[in-house]
Amino acid sequence: MTRELNSILSDNAKGMKRSAIRELLKLTSNPDIISFAGGLPSPLSFPVDELKVIVNEMMETEATKALQYGSTEGDNLLREELVKVYQEQGLNISIDNLIITTASQQGLDLVAKLLINRGDKIIVGLPSYLGGLSAFNSYGASMVGVPLDDEGMSSIELEKTIEEMKSKNELPKFIYIIPDFQNPAGITMTEKRRKEILKISSKYNILIIEDSPYRELRYEGKPQKTLYELDETGNVIMLGTFSKIFAPGLRIGWVIASQEIVDKFVVAKQATDLCTSPFTQRIAARYLQKGLLKIKIKEIIEMYRKKKEIMMDSLKKYMPEGVSWTNPEGGLFLLLTLPEGMDSEKLFKIAIEKKVAFVIGSAFRCDDGGRNTARLNFSYASEEQNVEGIKRLAESIKEYK
């Protein structure tokens, strides 16, 4: 180029960072490496045969519609089917409360695009989902972390943090929460805690972004009501996706919010991609219409429950003293905590030599903490690999100096 690239980049572009997970996944492309790194569903969970039938039917009866541009709001049949799913869960919503997105990552990006000015304060969990942190960082957010305990984000620490911010006239734009099987910690927020946080949200009139990609994947315990259902103020924006419960390659997610907020998402999305793929949307709509998703989720739950139990048993059997881990009731992840003073980034280099991978804990923090933690995924690797991978990781920890 004739000009220095940095001199013409926008402030937003200059603030963008490479995804730590995507960079780590490049290192784990070697088939000999057992990877606990990505948030990947098992390929065995994909409904290949059912989709062959659906795609053939679709191409016979409505190919021109599926191959044409669609509306920004999304395929009406898909939206209607999703509304039915959430109404069964207790949400009082209509099609006007839901917009389809190109996976939930686009939903996070649109949240940031709509709500964040450079320098705006937002609140996130310590730790929190890297994809959310990345989206918010790209728009210049100043992220303030609130720690988690066994019941989810601490309501005491949350209110204390908001009071401190209020005293500086810096109230946050929103609070970002993953209440069910939190990524990366695996913790599920109790209903009591959800109500406490909603009360704080109402008191200070602060939006809550409820990111809910794993909610359907519960292996034990009692399902909790969504923040959206419990909310009485219209302060909650909920994100969902098919990536973990159907097929990530469809790239279909959605946003549920008040009609006023959804309208703003429509305008923001029009400038981004005009519409999410009508082709994959209609596939998903037909899949839901046939009642196949409920059947598939039951199969996935059984598969992942067994994988999780195998990993938990292996951790108990092979991990050295001083290492602890969370025990998620569902989802895809657990958080490993190493003894104080250990650095998971240094451990990663040892583990890669032994051909096992994970994600370093500091990648999930907006501060400089979490260096002695690591996220493990149990859904992607086979049952045998889960055992062997934990053995290798335990050996890596023992070798750490």
The full set of domains in the chain, from first to last, is 5-47+294-399 (3.90.1150.10), 61-292 (3.40.640.10)
| Whether the predicted pLDDT of 54 surpasses 70 | yes
Strand order in the sheet with 253-256: 98-101, 253-256, 236-241, 207-211, 174-177, 121-126, 142-149, 152-153
Q: What percent of the chain has pLDDT over 70?
A: 95
Banded model confidence at residue 26, pLDDT cuts 50, 70, 90:
low
Banded model confidence at residue 221, pLDDT cuts 50, 70, 90:
very high
pLDDT at 24: 60
pLDDT at 289: 97
**Contact yes or no for 284/242 (Cβ under 8 A):** yes
| Whether the predicted pLDDT of 324 surpasses 80 | yes
Banded model confidence at residue 10, pLDDT cuts 50, 70, 90:
confident
Cα angle 389, 390, 391; round to 5: 90
pLDDT at 338: 97
Distance in angstroms (rounded) separating the CA atoms of residues 12 and 19: 15
Distance in angstroms (rounded) separating the CA atoms of residues 273 and 218: 33
Residue 135: count of CB within 10 angstroms of its CB = 22
**Contact yes or no for 145/125 (Cβ under 8 A):** yes
Cite the beta strand spans of 310-369 per DSSP E: 324-325, 333-337, 356-357, 359-360
Q: Tell me the three state secondary structure of residue 299.
A: helix
Banded model confidence at residue 399, pLDDT cuts 50, 70, 90:
very high
Banded model confidence at residue 162, pLDDT cuts 50, 70, 90:
very high
What's the Cα-to-Cα distance from 118 to each of 10, 34, 115, 121, rounded to whole Å?
12, 40, 10, 9
- How confident is the prediction for the chain on average, in pLDDT? 95
pLDDT at 13: 75
Distance in angstroms (rounded) separating the CA atoms of residues 4 and 296: 52
What's the whole-number mean pLDDT along residues 372-397? 97
Banded model confidence at residue 58, pLDDT cuts 50, 70, 90:
very high
Best CA proximity match to 178, nearest among 115, 220, 241, 100: 241
CA–chain centroid gap for 207, Å, is 18
pTM of the model: 0.94
Least trusted range by pLDDT, from 4-13, 223-232, 324-333? 4-13
Banded model confidence at residue 25, pLDDT cuts 50, 70, 90:
low
**Rg of the chain in Å (alpha carbons):** 21
